[in-house]
Amino acid sequence: MIYILIILVTMSSMLSAQTPEEILTKYDAEIAELSSRLSERGIPVEWLKDNLNREDFNYYSNIDRFFTNMAEHRYSRGEIDIEDYKRHFGVERKVSRGKKFINEHYSLLQEVEQRNGIHYELIVAILGMETNFAEERQRGNFYIFDTLVSQYLLLPNRRRFAVNELAALYTFSQKTNKEVDYFIGSFAGASGWAQFIPTSLVAYFISADGNPENTDIFSIEDTLVSIENYLASHNLNRNTIDSSDHKRRAVFAYNRSEAYVDAVLYMYEEFR
């Protein structure tokens, strides 16, 4: 049995009150199974155990509600239209703020665009949708390790995802020499200003100076080149940037929601 110290946070009614003993009794078998599945991936058992026993570990018992209430899911269910979606995210305000961000970081953005010819306005539009241009209060309230464990325990249809992402989180945290609690972000498991899930961090997040040891998910420079790297890895470049289909496919790969793509491309056109 893995003995877990769980602190139940009550901020914004995110969690329901359950004692550590109740959690242990209810989920001991699932935790043992998760440990086994991660071990098969070469992840040390102690890594899972130690992080479950962190003093600030949170069990997100209401995790299913956050997925149900996602604007993207509400759009796909027909509960809101694209204009509702854009209002939900304050897209018009983002356009105004994004223009200021471009002015403040113009030289850096030009350098990023020169890498593969991807318009910096598209990169900025994605940053705007994800964290309102790296606004501090958009850093997130969820520990990525904790929400992935919660997804594994509570959402059977996301167990494969949770295992994959926990394994990638271990890999990336080792690569960047960061403790697990450095990775905070969304309930879905994305972190940093670019809101990459751990498998995307491993595959696409890079350091602007080319030194992997300096990689930081909360660096503006690293974030911009990593968004660019993601788009370039999905067939967007100076030869395809003028193709509407290529832009849509690359942005859709970033977030598989047509509403998200429409909002990003709207901002992109406004910035252009």
CA-angle at 38, arms to 211 and 52, nearest 5°: 85
Q: Which pLDDT score is estimated for 1?
A: 41
- Cβ atoms < 10 Å from Cβ of 25: 9
pLDDT digits 0-9 by tens, 12-51:
334 444 554 466 568 889 999 999 999 999 999 999 999 9
pLDDT digits 0-9 by tens, 83-122:
999 999 999 999 999 999 999 999 999 999 999 999 999 9
**73 to each of 8, 101, 165, 263, how far by Cα in Å?**
27, 29, 21, 15
d(CA 87, CA 187): 21
- Cβ atoms < 10 Å from Cβ of 16: 11
**Left if phi > 0, otherwise alpha if psi is -120 to 50, otherwise beta: which for 26?**
alpha
Q: Is the pLDDT of residue 6 over 90?
A: no
- Report residue 101 as tokens: 């961000």
d(CA 65, CA 201): 26
pTM: 0.90
Q: Quote the mean pLDDT of the chain.
A: 91
Q: Is the pLDDT of residue 258 over 80?
A: yes
d(CA 82, CA 88): 10
